[in-house]
Structure 1
Amino acid sequence: MPDRALEPDPRSRPRRQGDRPADARRTDRLERRLLQPGRESVRALVEARRACGRDGGSGALHGGGAARRPGRLFADGQRHRRRGRVQTDHRRGATRCGRPHDAGRPRHGHGRREALTRYASKSRQENVRTVFLVNPASANGSTGRRWPAIARRAAEAGLSGDSFLSGERGDLTDLARRAAEEGAELLVVVGGDGSVSEVVNGIAGREGVALALIPRGTGWDFARSLGIPRNVDRAIGAALTGKTRTIDLGRATYRLWAGGEGQTWFANVASAGMSGAIAQRANDTTKALGGKASYVWATFAVFARWSNTEVRVSVDGETRRGRMHDVIVSNGPYIGGGMKICPDADLEDGAFDVLLIGDLTKRDLLLTLPKTFRGKHLPHPRAELLRGTTVTVDAPEPLPVELDGEQPGTTPARFEIVPHALRVRVP
């Protein structure tokens, strides 16, 4: 089938960057490099990513603090660098602030492997070997403070097991993999979409283990897609007595920020284009007002400075070329704190819904964005919806790639559906 271009925008020149106050210079540098792909090189994109962590700081990603020692979840005295994370005493304090089952554990050499082998005795009454994987920084840092109370409520309902808290990005992937290897049958994720993504990357394709979710993030789009309630007690009930669904996962291959090729699983949604920049901007800001408000604010802030670029997309061999705002690859229907971006996307149908968003104007965005939360934005003259199992995206200048709210690299990118790759406990 011949290539077909999306309808172009009649604008005659690209957007111009406006003046910014002095206290926003660091954000400006990031946006000039990350958010305007038509104006900067791959090198600039890489430098921007190296220079700015997820918390918006200027240190190396996960850098600083004491070195992490083998066999430990956290280095001695290490504190969270991300804004809103809880301090060490909230994670491992005595009695009231500590994790369940921490009493009597030695401070030196946490021994994650030894601890993981003990969860079997905690849940024998339910005959399900359970491990809780907790992101204390989720929900704007409140999960760490509330986790002891959540753990008590779960235990009172009959859901118990060893609990492990992440200290830096990637911890949950390692913990999930090790727990599954040692016989865990149910991994209960306490966090948001980013936490789910990490755990999925530790157990994707593995039989004998299921994932349950107590939603504590600001976006919780994956939980929405599965119908998992945000209410803690109802989510605990779903983890205990819900049915198990086997859903599809996506597998993305992309260019790493530091160069070379990376590969990551994603559960809900992937994108290439402005969505990656929006997710980065939303992650760099406080989410005290909630994920939806943060994402809407980030959308307008980024769109005001974004320059669309020529993009080539192939969906199962069917090619589209043109100036595009975004390419959304949906396994589930929700993105951005509740936008029903692909209303008919199904986590169990063996295919992606692929939304190509063309050269939008500001007026288009203002009129269309509110409709996305109701799933009423399609059809649209500047958008096209396709379905397929394999999607490739490339552009003359690298576009940021977003996977379940994380930004691991840039285009060129390839997205593949992997049917029946994850077991999930749902209501």
Structure 2
Amino acid sequence: MRILVIVNPMAGRGKTLRLLPEIRRRLSESPHEFSFSIPGSPDELRSEIIKASARGIDAILLSGGDGTVHQALPAIVETGIPFGFLPCGRGNDFARNIGLPMDLKNNCSMLSSLSIRKLDLPTINQKTPFVAIAYVGFDAEVNSLANHQKGYFDGTLGYIVCVLKALKNFKPFEVEMTIDDQIWRERVMMVAVANAPFYGGGMKIAPQAVMDDGVLNICMVKEIPKWELLQQFPKVFKGTHTSHPRIMMKTGKRIKIVSEERREVFADGEYAGSLPAECTIGSQTVRVLAPFFGNDRGENEID
């Protein structure tokens, strides 16, 4: 199999570039044929994927973080090319969600035993695809801070720092949420629409979410005191927050969220517009190099 490794030089504050010599060395032990590209921008990244598909490359291996996957999605959808993931970013929730090892050694050695599997690909407002989770409210504000944070806090620790910063000025807001044919009007802290369990550097916001079951899982946190929100925070890492009486968990295929307030929407760690937002899931899929997970719609072992 011919695989193009696309290295995002910005991911993990340059971590991918620092790891590149080790990546090259470990992949050289694989039976596959690898070439490398270091795009200078998201547009160039997408262009590299399209050109690789046109010249017959069999798969893409993205070396970066969750944002790298999100940036690549439009080109992956356009070409239909399978892709794998080397987690070198800050949160690396995509690796968690598909069952990949977080360390480079095991991830690279596992490559030959992976299968090409189909993941559902939901969209926001029928134009912005996401593989994991779209969200609005408190978690989106935390994400915005994390994306602009300067310092040495990465992953879970960095997320906790941003949680404390966001909590200071956050105010609940009114939403009308339609899940298929049911309508809720609530004052909320946040709403997350999930195709996968994890986000935010290991937070299991939607424990029951499966990436290939054709359904979206919704977590709505209704208005609660800030101290109580903070109290629930550690539970999210274990997925045990769902029993709280002010947290509503639902499933659906079409979720529309509107508000009179301007609120930013984030998806897979990246800014994705503002409300209103309609998240839908249908027949669209992407092909991923992954171990067993979900409903095991594996196509074949890679060779």
Structure 1 length as normaliser, TM-score? 0.65
Amino acid at match of 1:247: L
Q: CA deviation at 1:367?
A: 1.4
Q: Which residue of 2 aligns with 1:70?
A: none
Alignment of 1:160-199 (within 5 A): 160-199=33-72
Cα distance in 2 between the residues matched to 1:287 and 1:174: 31
Q: CA deviation at 1:390?
A: 0.9
Matched, 1:374 2:246: no
Q: 1:177 to 1:297 in 2, by over 3 A?
A: same
Q: CA deviation at 1:314?
A: 0.7
Cα distance in 1 between the residues matched to 2:78 and 2:261: 34
Matched, 1:236 2:108: yes
Matched, 1:140 2:4: no
Secondary structure of 1:143 counterpart = helix
Cα distance in 1 between the residues matched to 2:34 and 2:262: 44
Q: CA deviation at 1:134?
A: 0.9
Alignment of 1:378-393 (within 5 A): 378-393=242-257
Offset from partner CA, 1:164-220 (integer Å, 9 cap, x none): 11212333222222322332211000011000112222112754x211111101101
Alignment of 1:60-209 (within 5 A): 128-204=1-77, 206-207=79-80, 209=81
Alignment of 1:14-413 (within 5 A): 128-204=1-77, 206-207=79-80, 209-253=81-125, 263-286=127-150, 288-413=152-277
Q: CA deviation at 1:287?
A: 6.1
Specify which structure has the bigger relative contact order, considering alpha-carbon pairs within 8 angstroms and separated by 6 or more residues. 2
Cα distance in 1 between the residues matched to 2:24 and 2:213: 35
CA contact (8 A) 2:156 2:201 kept: yes
Cα distance in 1 between the residues matched to 2:85 and 2:132: 14
Cα distance in 2 between the residues matched to 1:287 and 1:353: 33
Amino acid at match of 1:393: I
Could you tell me which runs of 5 or more consecutive residues in structure 1 were left unpaired when the two chains were aligned.
1-127, 255-262
Amino acid at match of 1:233: K
Cα distance in 2 between the residues matched to 1:308 and 1:178: 45
Matched, 1:417 2:290: no
Q: CA deviation at 1:243?
A: 1.8
**Larger Rg, first or second structure (1 or 2):** 1
Equivalent pairs, count: 291
Secondary structure of 2:244 counterpart = coil
CA contact (8 A) 2:50 2:79 kept: no
Higher relative strand content: 2
Secondary structure of 1:142 counterpart = helix
Q: Which residue of 1 aligns with 2:298?
A: none
Cα distance in 2 between the residues matched to 1:206 and 1:390: 26
Amino acid at match of 2:257: V
Cα distance in 2 between the residues matched to 1:233 and 1:160: 18
Q: CA deviation at 1:272?
A: 1.8
CA contact (8 A) 2:42 2:72 kept: no
Q: 1:287 to 1:371 in 2, by over 3 A?
A: farther
Q: 1:169 to 1:277 in 2, by over 3 A?
A: farther
Cα distance in 1 between the residues matched to 2:75 and 2:32: 22
Q: 1:418 to 1:201 in 2, by over 3 A?
A: farther
CA contact (8 A) 1:135 1:166 kept: yes
Cα distance in 1 between the residues matched to 2:10 and 2:151: 12
Amino acid at match of 1:407: Y
Q: CA deviation at 1:159?
A: 3.8
Q: CA deviation at 1:406?
A: 0.4
Offset from partner CA, 1:214-255 (integer Å, 9 cap, x none): 11011011110111001112211332221222111111128x
Q: 1:418 to 1:174 in 2, by over 3 A?
A: farther
**Identity of matched residues, %:** 29
Secondary structure of 1:156 counterpart = coil
Could you tell me which runs of 5 or more consecutive residues in structure 2 were left unpaired when the two chains were aligned.
292-303
